[in-house]
A = this chain, B = another copy of it.
Amino acid sequence: MIDFQTDPTRYRHWRLRVEPPIAYLDMDVDPDGGLHEGYEMKLNSYDLGVDIELADAVQRLRFEHPEVGAVIIGSLNERVFCAGANIGMLALAAHPLKVNFCKFTNETRNSIEDASANSGQRYIAAVKGNAAGGGYELVLATDHIMLVDDGSSSVALPEVPLLGVLPGTGGLTRLVDKRHVRRDRADVFCTVEEGIKGKRALEWRLVDELVPSSTFEETVRARAVEAAEATDRPTTAPGVELSPLQRVIDDAGLTYSSLRVEIDRAGRTATVVVLGPDGPPAEGAGFWPLRLARELDDALLHLRVNELEIGTLILRSQGDANLVERYDRLLVDQEGDWFRREVALYWKRLLKRVEATSRTTICLVEPGSCFLGFLAELILAADRSYMLEGTRDDGDDEAMVTLTGASAGPLPMANGLTRLETRFWGDAAGLEKATSVIGRHLDAAAAYDAGLVTDVMDEIDWDDELRVMLEERAGFSPDSLTGMEANLRFPGPETMETKIFGRLTAWQNWVFQRPNASGETGALRRYGTGLRPDYDQRRV
C-alpha cells in the first residue's frame, strides 16, 4: 500500500528549513529510499515517494507557516540539481502506476503555482548543477528560475532523445504557454540531450536569471526576500499544524473522522460518504472543512493508487445542512482571514483532484444528506448526479440541495470557469436559471428544474435503477470510460492546467503504452543497458 501521509520528521528525500520570511526546500534524495524494489534513485532522481514528501511540504508551508512569503527550491547535490523521474522505476512500473505517478506530480507542481498565485507564497528555483527532465519541470513550476553561471550548470528536457517518452509533467506545455519559449526553440531544446546553459538559456527564456557562482547564495536569498516583501500573508499569526489524520484502513474500506469509504470489490465501486460537522466552527486543524478536505484528499489518492479496479466512486453525504451552512459562510466570506482563504483554496484544489481522477463519479443526493455550499460542488463535479424525491421509511428529512456563493467564484475548475459556467457552457439561459436559485433550498423537482441533477427518482425506483446503472457502468471498458470522462468534463476554454491533463497527459499515456517506450526493445527498457532501442519507425 502506498501511503500519502507523511510529515517533515519522516522525510527521507527533502530538507525543509524555515527562516522567516523564507523557507528552504532542498532536494536530497536517498538512493535507497525508493517506494518499490528494483531501482536506485541516484543523482536526485525521484519516484512517487519523493513527490509525496514534496506535496506534503508545499501543503504544510501554506498552513503551518503563514510567516513564510517565499520558498527557495534547491538541491543538496552540487553536480545534479535533479535528474528527473527515475528511469529504472519508469521501466519497471506497470502502466497504471506510471500514469498515476505523473498525475500526482502534475498536481503537486500545479499546487506550487497555486500557492504562488493565490496564497502569497512565491517559489524560486535555485539551480546549481543539471536540472534535467522532471527536475527542470519542477523548476518550471516556480516563478523565478535562477541558474548559476559556472560554465556547466544547465537545464534540459532529454526525454525525447534519451528515453523515447515526453517531458510529460507539464514541461512541454509550460515551455510554450507559461515561459513563452518560441516553439521552434522549444523543439530544439527538447532534442538536446545535454541541455542548455548560460546566456543561451537566458536568451531563450529557459531561465530568468543567470548568477555567478561566487554570489549565487546571496543573490538567491535577496530575490526571495524581495518576493516575500510582496506577500499579503500575516507575519505574526500562528500557523495551523496539520496533525496526523485519524484513519483506519481495512479490507472493507477507510474510516476517518468526517469521512467513510465503503469498498465493494465485486461491484467495483467505492461509496464515499461525507459526514457533516457535529458542532459549530472550531479553530485550527480541527476546523471541519479542513479536516474533511484532508481526509477526502487522502481517500482519493488511496483509491487512485491502491484500488485500481474500483471503477466508480459514489459520492454521498450525511449531516445537518444548517451546520454546513455556518462553515460554508466562513469560506465564502473570508474577511481577509489567511486561514479561511487557505481552506477555500484547498477545497478548490481538492475538487480539481476529483475531476482529474480517472474514475466515474456519481453523486447521490438522498434524504438526510447535507449538500450545501462547497459540498454541493460535489454534485456538479460528478459525471452524473441523482436525487431521491420525497422521503424514505427511515425518517430522514427530504433531500435538499442548496447552492451558495461557493458555486459562484471561489472554487473554479481547472478550465478557469465555475462548475455552473462549465455545466451551462454556451447556454446562457440555463446558467441564469441555475444562478438564480443560489441561496434557495431546492427539493428534487426544483433541483432538476434548475438543471443541477441528472435525474430524479422516487424511493420505489431508486435502488433498482441505481443498481442497474452501476452494473452497466462496471461492464464498460475502463479505458474508454477514462477517455470519455476526460473529454466531457472540460467544455469551454482551456488553460495551462487542462492542457497538461488533457493534451499532454493523454499523449504521454499513449507514448508510455507504445512498444517503442515500454516494449522489450523500447527506450525505457534499454536505457542503461548499453543497447540502443529498436524502434518501429512508423509514424502514427
A154 at the binding interface (Cβ < 8 Å): no
A410 at the binding interface (Cβ < 8 Å): no
Q: Is the CB of A166 within 8 A of B478?
A: no
A424 at the binding interface (Cβ < 8 Å): yes
Chain B positions within 8 Å of A358 at CB level: 539-540
Q: Is the CB of A479 within 8 A of B423?
A: no
- Cα(A483)–Cα(B493), bound, Å: 22
Q: Is the CB of B499 within 8 A of A311?
A: no
Cβ-neighbour of A483 out of B422, B423, B511 (below 8 A) = B511
Q: Is the CB of B538 within 8 A of A480?
A: no
Q: Which residue of B lies closest to A187 (CB)?
A: B383
A443 at the binding interface (Cβ < 8 Å): no
A481-B309 in contact given A491-B177, A513-B514, A514-B513 (Cβ < 8 Å): no
Chain B positions within 8 Å of A540 at CB level: 95-96, 99, 358, 478-479, 482, 509
CB distance from A387 to the nearest CB of B (A): 12
A529 at the binding interface (Cβ < 8 Å): no
A31 at the binding interface (Cβ < 8 Å): no
| A172, A427, A477, A523: residue with the most chain B Cβ atoms closer than 10 Å | A477
Q: How many copies does the complex hold?
A: 2
Which residues between 399 and 425 of chain A lie within 8 Å of chain B, taking CB atoms? 422-425
A508 at the binding interface (Cβ < 8 Å): yes
Q: Is the interface of A mostly helix, strand, loop or mixed?
A: helix
Q: What is the interface size of chain A, counting residues whose CB is below 8 A from a CB of the partner?
A: 88
Q: Is the CB of A477 within 8 A of B160?
A: yes
A165 at the binding interface (Cβ < 8 Å): yes
A82 at the binding interface (Cβ < 8 Å): no
Q: Which residue of B lies closest to A474 (CB)?
A: B537
Q: Is the CB of B535 within 8 A of A478?
A: yes
Chain B positions within 8 Å of A426 at CB level: 177, 180
Q: Would you give the 0/1 interface string for A291-320, flagging 1 where the beta carbon is closer than 8 Å to chain B?
A: 000000000000000001111000000000
Chain B positions within 8 Å of A176 at CB level: 425, 487-488, 491
CB distance from A8 to the nearest CB of B (A): 32
Q: Which residue of B lies closest to A383 (CB)?
A: B187
Q: Is the CB of A177 within 8 A of B385?
A: no
- Cα(A508)–Cα(B191), bound, Å: 26
Q: Which residue of B lies closest to A486 (CB)?
A: B507
Chain B positions within 8 Å of A423 at CB level: 182-184
CB distance from A53 to the nearest CB of B (A): 25
CB distance from A212 to the nearest CB of B (A): 27
Chain B positions within 8 Å of A508 at CB level: 483
A473 at the binding interface (Cβ < 8 Å): yes
- Cα(A64)–Cα(B279), bound, Å: 75
CB distance from A424 to the nearest CB of B (A): 7
Q: Is the CB of A187 within 8 A of B488?
A: yes
Cβ-neighbour of A539 out of B184, B359, B516 (below 8 A) = B359
Q: Is the CB of B385 within 8 A of A511?
A: no
A218 at the binding interface (Cβ < 8 Å): no
- Cα(A294)–Cα(B479), bound, Å: 39
Chain B positions within 8 Å of A506 at CB level: 502-503, 506-507, 510
A173 at the binding interface (Cβ < 8 Å): yes
A477-B191 in contact given A180-B425, A309-B538, A359-B539 (Cβ < 8 Å): no
Cβ-neighbour of A310 out of B503, B507, B510, B539 (below 8 A) = B539
Q: Is the CB of B186 within 8 A of A539?
A: no
Q: Would you give the 0/1 interface string for A440-473, flagging 1 where the beta carbon is closer than 8 Å to chain B?
A: 0000000000010010000000000000000011
- Cα(A196)–Cα(B503), bound, Å: 30
Q: Would you give the 0/1 interface string for A513-538, flagging 1 where the beta carbon is closer than 8 Å to chain B?
A: 11011000001000000000101111
Cβ-neighbour of A183 out of B160, B165, B422, B510 (below 8 A) = B422
- Cα(A268)–Cα(B535), bound, Å: 13
CB distance from A526 to the nearest CB of B (A): 11
CB distance from A365 to the nearest CB of B (A): 13
- Cα(A504)–Cα(B482), bound, Å: 12
Q: Is the CB of B499 within 8 A of A187?
A: no
- Cα(A167)–Cα(B478), bound, Å: 15
CB distance from A199 to the nearest CB of B (A): 16
Cβ-neighbour of A159 out of B96, B167, B480 (below 8 A) = B480
Chain B positions within 8 Å of A190 at CB level: 484, 488
Chain B positions within 8 Å of A491 at CB level: 176-177, 180, 183
Chain B positions within 8 Å of A177 at CB level: 425-426, 491-492
Q: Which residue of B lies closest to A512 (CB)?
A: B510
A537-B182 in contact given A187-B488, A483-B507, A487-B504 (Cβ < 8 Å): no
Chain B positions within 8 Å of A332 at CB level: none
Q: Is the CB of A311 within 8 A of B539?
A: yes
A156 at the binding interface (Cβ < 8 Å): no
Which residues between 137 and 188 of chain A lie within 8 Å of chain B, taking CB atoms? 159-161, 163-167, 172-173, 175-177, 180, 182-188
List 5 A-B residue pairs with CB atoms under 8 Å apart, sorted by A's residue number. A96-B540, A166-B484, A177-B426, A182-B424, A191-B472
Q: A183-B488, A308-B537, A483-B508 are in contact. List 6 more A-B contacts (CB 8 A).
A: A182-B423, A184-B454, A187-B488, A480-B517, A480-B523, A494-B499
